[in-house]
Amino acid sequence: MITDVGAFPPLRPWQQAWRLVAAAALGVVLWLLTAAQVPPGVGGPRVQWLITGDPLLALACLIALLWRRRFPAVIAIAVILASTASVLSAGAALLALCSLATRRRPAETAVAAMLSVVTVMLTTDLYPRREVPEPLWLLLSVPLLMVGIVVAVGAAIGARREEMRALRERVESVEREQAARAAEARILERHRIAREMHDVLAHRVSLVAMQAGVLGHRPDLSAEQVAELARGIADGSHQALEELRDVLGVLRASPDDLEPPQPSLADLPALVGHARALGLDVTLTATTASEPPDAIARTAYRIVQEGLTNAGKHAPGALVAVTVEGKAGDGLRATVRDSGASRLIEGPPASGFGLLGLAERVALAGGELEHHPDPGGGFVLAARLPWPVREGSE
């Protein structure tokens, strides 16, 4: 069961807003129905409270709901008790009860549910009515049904989110296990390569030693034979040194060295700086709200890299503008726009696979790639990539 309330991420403003608006709308409907039952011409403190105090208390309850995640039980009980004196607060009370039920804490939810039923029954006689009160069984069954539905919905939401959290943790565990297995495989492969290189190196050194031994024990060799053996020793020594260098490189390399770090958005300034050093006139505008997931960041980096490569090949002297913007939930958009070639040169031959491979990479990331000539001249390469947000709870 969910016990760590602080583990829930805060709701975004629009997520918070539509919940509060829905609670307020339900309260307004109940308030209008209650006001319609007041007999004409009836006044007094209770009617004045219906007009002024009831809405103000409901507004205070809606404001209190902003802290329902930090203090779920306290806010739920307080709002439910406040709804005893405010019909307009009924929507806020149901939202607080549903939010508490998502935590799947039976004791707290049961207490809040019973208080909700009692509150609904007490508010029946809060204001004067034209009609005769309904029978007790009806007064009791309606709030029981309503509260039961709200608790069931909240418990279902909590169960679903707990399942999603468990699935995410399982996926992360599998990814860690796969990374550990990959690291072990790299180490085993490194050792295998080292052994093979060592065997080759030993063979090479043995040949050199054998040739040197012939020179020391055969004084009857001709000058041509001596020169040939000397060349063999020199060549063998050179190859042995090369193989020794390879062996040492393999043995000294760490797993991180065997697999270099993958690029991210933080590497874009260095990429743009390298392009400027090669003669491109590039400007970079990066306005991301935070750091996107690694796979999305790598894809965006490759998009910018391909765009700068194409601009250097096909648009010499052009002004190139690189824009990377977005935030979680809205997606990440990377755009490379050039103004067109300012001079004609014969560029290097194009392979034709750059944009095709980039499209496949973007499709694997779940995004969309577009590239087309700019109506004002030049070329545009743009991609929109998903940037998901982890689902929060009530």
User: In this predicted model, what pLDDT tens digit does every residue of 330-358 receive, in sequence order?
Assistant: 899 999 999 877 655 444 444 455 677 78
Confidence at residue 336, expressed as pLDDT on a 0 to 100 scale: 93
- Mean pLDDT over 272-284 rounds to 79
Q: What whole-number percentage of the chain has pLDDT above 70?
A: 80
Confidence at residue 195, expressed as pLDDT on a 0 to 100 scale: 56
Confidence of residue 210 (pLDDT cuts 50, 70, 90): low
Contact assessment for residue 31 and residue 51, using Cβ atoms and an 8 Å cutoff: no
Is 217 a residue whose pLDDT tops 90?
no
Cα-Cα-Cα-Cα torsion 154, 156, 157, 160, nearest 10 degrees, comes to 160
Provide the 8-state DSSP code for 130: S
- Mean pLDDT over 256-260 rounds to 51
Confidence at residue 335, expressed as pLDDT on a 0 to 100 scale: 93
Confidence of residue 370 (pLDDT cuts 50, 70, 90): very high
Look up the CATH number of domain 265-385.
Answer: 3.30.565.10
Is 251 a residue whose pLDDT tops 60?
no
Segments making up each domain of the chain, as ranges: 5-133, 185-258, 265-385
Confidence at residue 250, expressed as pLDDT on a 0 to 100 scale: 56
Q: What does the alpha-carbon distance between residue 156 and residue 233 come to, in Å, rounded to a whole number?
A: 80
Name which residue leads in pLDDT, 136 or 163. 163
**Where do the H-state alpha helices sit in the chain?**
13-36, 45-48, 54-64, 72-82, 90-101, 106-122, 136-217, 223-252, 255-258, 268-277, 294-314, 354-364
Q: What does the alpha-carbon distance between residue 58 and residue 50 come to, in Å, rounded to a whole number?
A: 11
335 SS3 class: strand
**Where do the H-state alpha helices sit in 219-267?**
223-252, 255-258
Confidence at residue 349, expressed as pLDDT on a 0 to 100 scale: 46
pTM recorded for the entire structure: 0.44
Weakest-pLDDT range from 257-261, 304-308, 380-384: 257-261
**pLDDT tens for residues 25-83?**
988 988 888 888 787 777 788 888 888 888 899 899 999 988 888 888 888 889 988 88
Q: How many CA atoms lie within 13 A of 379 on its CB side?
A: 18
Weakest-pLDDT range from 36-50, 164-178, 292-306: 36-50
- Mean pLDDT over 279-307 rounds to 86
User: Measured at the alpha carbon of residue 263, what is the angle toward residues 257 and 267, in degrees to the nearest 5?
Assistant: 120
**pLDDT tens for residues 93-149?**
888 888 888 887 888 888 888 888 888 877 777 777 776 666 777 777 878 888 888
Is 162 a residue whose pLDDT tops 60?
yes
Q: What does the alpha-carbon distance between residue 350 and residue 78 come to, in Å, rounded to a whole number?
A: 70
Question: Which range scores top for mean pLDDT: 11-25, 69-83, 260-274?
Answer: 69-83
* Angular region, 377: left φ>0, alpha ψ -120 to 50, beta rest: left
Confidence at residue 3, expressed as pLDDT on a 0 to 100 scale: 46
Is 155 a residue whose pLDDT tops 60?
yes
**pLDDT tens for residues 304-315?**
888 888 887 777
Weakest-pLDDT range from 56-60, 200-204, 234-238, 345-349: 345-349
Is 21 a residue whose pLDDT tops 80?
yes
- Mean pLDDT over 224-237 rounds to 79
- Mean pLDDT over 138-163 rounds to 84
